Amino acid sequence: MDNILVFTDMDGTLLDHDTYSFAAAAPTLEALKNRGIPVIPTTSKTFAEMLVLRKQIDLAGPFIVENGAAAYIPHGFFDQKPTGTVWQDGFWCKSFISSKNYWLKLLEKIKDEYAGEFTHFSQMSIEQIQQATGLDEASAKLAAQRQFGEPVLWQGEDSRKQDFIDSIRSRGAYPLEGGRFIHVSGDCNKGDALRWLVSEYERQHHCKARSIALGDGKNDVAMLEAADVAVRIASPSHAPPAVNKDENVFTSTKLGPEGWTEILTSLLSLPI
């Protein structure tokens, strides 16, 4: 057993930014599976979305949703019940924050101050979510089933965007900028969820694990900094995120799943 854990963002990283295809990474995914190395989606996506995506990509291990709000671990991945989890929807679930209702109330309080400058999932129709994300109708319905946080679509001037982020942060929110949305939720991030899952893995396997994290956006920074090895995936829409880490930081030259394959193949000497 390699005792390596691969934590990966989805949109723009394992999934192509425009087409959502993972085809370019399929051979690498198969090679990792053959090596017994878990690939753990660590994403802004919802539990409902990940149930479908895991089947499409043929992943059977844990996954982390809504930017680190909760980790879901399938029965049998560990020999014992993971610490601090509850059995929920067919998985052991470790929640790190409470539900999204609090943050919906916060957005309601500031909507007059930023009138016409933003909208968010709970106010958007499925068709509008499709237009903003490029998802098909079925996928957009899954994306709308959020449990912990709320994606905000900024529609105002760029010069006002940071003011908006500062405003909701001053009211107790922890906004994270993803590739398309500002994700508003409580005090959680992908890095803390990664640390918890690595710690639980080490506790149950009685060994030291090595973590590799791959991401392309600002909401991936905490995960990239928490991992032993950080991989920044090149994006067609923005520069690689800045990370406060000097060693074991790699940046792909190729985009999305091609970059994903490029770096992991090199790092782990996987067959191409």
Give the single-character DSSP code of 42: B
Query: In the chain, where are the structural domains located?
Result: 4-96+189-268, 101-184
User: How far is it, in rounded angstroms, from Cα 218 to Cα 222?
Assistant: 8
Per-residue confidence band for 1, with pLDDT thresholds at 50, 70 and 90: low
Kindly report the CATH class assigned to 101-184.
alpha beta
**Mean of pLDDT values over 257-270:** 93
3 touches 243 (CB < 8 A): no
Examine the pLDDT at 94 and tell me if it is beyond 70. Answer: yes
Examine the pLDDT at 272 and tell me if it is beyond 80. Answer: no
pLDDT digits 0-9 by tens, 141-175: 999 999 998 999 999 998 999 999 999 999 999 99
Examine the pLDDT at 180 and tell me if it is beyond 90. Answer: no
147 Cβ neighbours under 8 A, 6+ residues apart: 46, 47, 65, 66, 69, 70, 99, 100
pTM score? 0.86
Architecture of domain 4-96+189-268: 3-Layer(aba) Sandwich (3.40)
Give pLDDT, residue 176: 86
The residue written with tokens 């107790």 in the block is 172
Examine the pLDDT at 80 and tell me if it is beyond 70. Answer: yes
Active-site residues, by number, are: 9
